[in-house]
């Protein structure tokens, strides 16, 4: 009896481990079927680098030069800046184009930046609420994507960043007024699609954060251009939206408002429950907004949550659990770190981006689980963010600070 019990004791743990490993393997196989490895759509063109000084960090000069060359490739003579060269990327997103304009201005390429802004001005909507994307000719795409309110904030920020408020005052006025119109009694806008490119049932930080940045920029432009009535009205809207954002999203600033908040004990910061971390939390801090300790804490926490095993960053906690990193969000955290003086983190993320370019040197949309470039390459949003981040390591970028 004891011998048989002893025999069972020897083989039983091995059987349990084998069963658990089989279950894990089956789950992994199902996950691979559900989330297959993305492949590289395009390797990006071979480019010739210019010899002009860029003013960015020296160790990233090659990365930044190639990013700028890719932006040259993706920007058409009429100023239309494509998200990418192929298929569903071959459109102009106001979000991406705004970052391209800002990146150009950050290194003194104002003529190129004004080309981009002029295209946006030519397609600006009469209501101030921008479409998700536009054809390179300026025509509406006509697909099922809903207008995306965050565009109203991004174009305002880019216009201010480039000191072009006098050139595009009507664009500024219309976009800012649209933001004011969108705010409800609770101080927040209604649900809108954002950079996740999907319908939303709840308001997201992906909409709120750019609107805060846009209103700050619009107020500064209105003040500089001697429009006190607009500046006052937009300041009231900013105060309303800022208070609502801190009340509803703080202190963790997740993608959607937390469903509950846990207060542990006096003297300890409350913990938001649910809502999901989102990379867009970076837009609540420099260079998009003045630094605040609570926001910096949220940004650092979010980076830790969203960092993938391959070293890059995923867009959000509720994004696909596939282990794939997205280069725009990785570059957003690099820009945030550089602008907040955290050069160690900025260097780590920029180095990771530099090491995961395509064979032609372009920055891809994604890096898959096998640490290979994937998706479209080059991608204008990533390229623009890399230029901004590299520049921020050497020279402080302007922040829309109302003082």
**Opening angle at CA 271, ends 267 and 274, nearest 5:** 170
pLDDT digits (tens, 9 = 90+) for 362-402: 999 999 999 999 999 999 999 999 999 999 999 999 999 99
The answer on pLDDT for 346 being more than 50 is yes
Average pLDDT across the chain, whole number? 89
How large is the angle between the packed helices 94-106 and 61-74, nearest 10 degrees?
A: 130
Burial of 163 (0-12, 13-18, 19+ CB in 10 A): middle
pLDDT digits (tens, 9 = 90+) for 237-294: 999 999 999 999 999 999 999 765 555 555 555 555 568 999 999 999 999 999 999 9
Beta-sheet strand order (sheet of 325-326):
325-326, 366-367, 373-374
Helices (H) and strands (E) in the chain, counts: 12, 5
How is residue 200 written in tokens? 């939303």
- Measured distance between the N- and C-terminal CA atoms of the chain, rounded to whole angstroms: 83
What is the per-residue pLDDT for 271? 53
Note the CATH number of domain 76-249: 1.50.10.10
CA gap 231, 235 in Å, rounded: 6
What is the per-residue pLDDT for 388? 98
- Chain centroid to Cα 309, Å, comes to 20
What is the per-residue pLDDT for 264? 52
The answer on pLDDT for 7 being more than 60 is no
CA gap 330, 395 in Å, rounded: 20
CA gap 213, 401 in Å, rounded: 10
Q: What is the DSSP-derived secondary structure letter of residue 36?
A: P
Counted residue by residue, the chain has a size of 403
Residue spans in the chain of domains classed CATH 1.50.10.10:
76-249
Averaged pLDDT for residues 144-164: 96
Run of H or E including 189: none
Q: With contact defined as beta carbons under 8 Å apart, do 314 and 324 qualify?
A: yes
- Chain centroid to Cα 208, Å, comes to 13
What is the per-residue pLDDT for 24? 47
What is the per-residue pLDDT for 5? 47
Averaged pLDDT for residues 323-334: 98
Run of H or E including 373: strand 373-374
CA gap 19, 167 in Å, rounded: 68
pLDDT digits (tens, 9 = 90+) for 351-361: 999 999 999 99
Transcribe 265-290 into DSSP letters: STTS--EEESS--BGGGGGGSTTSS-
Residue among 254, 257, 217, 258 at smallest CA distance from 235: 217
What is the per-residue pLDDT for 128? 72
3-state SS of 77-104 is CCCCECCCCCHHHCCECHHHHHHHHHHH
Q: With contact defined as beta carbons under 8 Å apart, do 255 and 206 qualify?
A: yes
CA gap 271, 261 in Å, rounded: 6
Q: What is the DSSP-derived secondary structure letter of residue 319?
A: S
pLDDT digits (tens, 9 = 90+) for 195-226: 999 999 999 999 999 999 999 999 999 999 99
Dihedral (CA of 34, 253, 379, 50) sign: negative
What is the per-residue pLDDT for 274? 64
List alpha helices for 131-227, DSSP H: 150-161, 169-182, 205-224
Q: Which of 17-31, 34-48, 93-107, 118-132 has the highest mean pLDDT?
A: 93-107
10-19, 103-112, 378-387: the lowest-pLDDT one: 10-19
pLDDT digits (tens, 9 = 90+) for 44-68: 776 655 544 555 567 899 999 999 9
How is residue 209 written in tokens? 């954060």
3-state secondary structure of 134: strand
List alpha helices for 227-376, DSSP H: 228-249, 293-306, 327-339, 343-355
Q: Give the percent of the chain with pLDDT over 90.
A: 77
CA gap 314, 392 in Å, rounded: 23
pLDDT band (50, 70, 90) for residue 3: very low
The answer on pLDDT for 26 being more than 50 is no
Q: With contact defined as beta carbons under 8 Å apart, do 245 and 256 qualify?
A: no
pLDDT digits (tens, 9 = 90+) for 166-203: 999 999 999 999 999 999 999 999 999 999 999 999 99
What pTM was estimated for this model as a whole? Answer: 0.89
CA gap 384, 124 in Å, rounded: 21
């Amino acid at each position: 009896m004891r011998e048989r019990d002893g025999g069972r004791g020897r083989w039983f743990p091995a059987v349990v481990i084998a069963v658990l490993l089989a279950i894990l393997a089956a789950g992994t196989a199902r996950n691979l079927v559900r989330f297959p490895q993305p492949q590289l759509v395009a390797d990006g063109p071979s480019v010739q680098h210019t010899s002009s000084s860029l003013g960015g960090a020296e160790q990233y000069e090659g990365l930044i030069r190639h990013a700028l060359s890719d932006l040259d490739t993706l920007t058409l003579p009429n100023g239309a800046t494509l998200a990418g060269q192929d298929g569903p990327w071959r459109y102009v997103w106001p979000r991406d184009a705004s970052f391209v304009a800002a990146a150009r201005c950050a290194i003194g390429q104002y003529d190129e930046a004004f080309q981009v802004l002029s295209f946006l001005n030519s397609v600006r909507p009469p209501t101030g609420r921008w479409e998700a994307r536009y054809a390179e000719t300026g025509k509406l795409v006509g697909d099922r994507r809903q207008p995306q309110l965050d565009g109203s904030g991004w174009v305002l920020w880019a216009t201010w960043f480039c000191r072009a408020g006098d050139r595009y005052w009507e664009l500024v006025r219309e976009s800012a007024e649209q933001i004011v119109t969108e705010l409800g009694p609770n101080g927040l806008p209604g649900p809108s699609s954002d950079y996740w490119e999907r319908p939303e049932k709840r308001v997201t930080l992906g909409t709120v954060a750019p609107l805060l940045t846009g209103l700050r920029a619009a107020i500064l432009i209105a003040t500089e251009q001697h429009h006190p009535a607009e500046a006052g009205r937009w300041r009231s809207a900013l105060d309303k939206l800022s208070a609502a954002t801190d009340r509803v999203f703080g202190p963790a600033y997740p993608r959607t408002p937390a469903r509950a908040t846990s207060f542990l004990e006096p003297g300890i910061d409350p913990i938001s429950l649910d809502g999901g971390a989102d990379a867009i939390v970076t837009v609540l801090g420099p260079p998009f907004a003045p630094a605040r300790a609570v926001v910096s804490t949220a940004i650092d926490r979010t980076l830790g949550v969203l960092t993938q095993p391959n070293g890059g960053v995923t867009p959000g906690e509720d994004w696909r659990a596939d282990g794939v990193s997205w280069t725009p969000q990785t570059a957003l955290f690099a820009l945030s770190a550089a602008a907040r003086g955290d050069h160690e983190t900025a260097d780590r993320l920029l180095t990771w981006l530099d090491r995961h370019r395509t064979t032609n040197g372009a920055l891809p949309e994604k890096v898959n689980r096998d640490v290979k470039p994937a998706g479209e390459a080059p991608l204008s949003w990533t390229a623009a963010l890399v230029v901004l981040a590299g520049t921020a390591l050497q020279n402080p970028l302007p922040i829309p600070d109302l003082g």
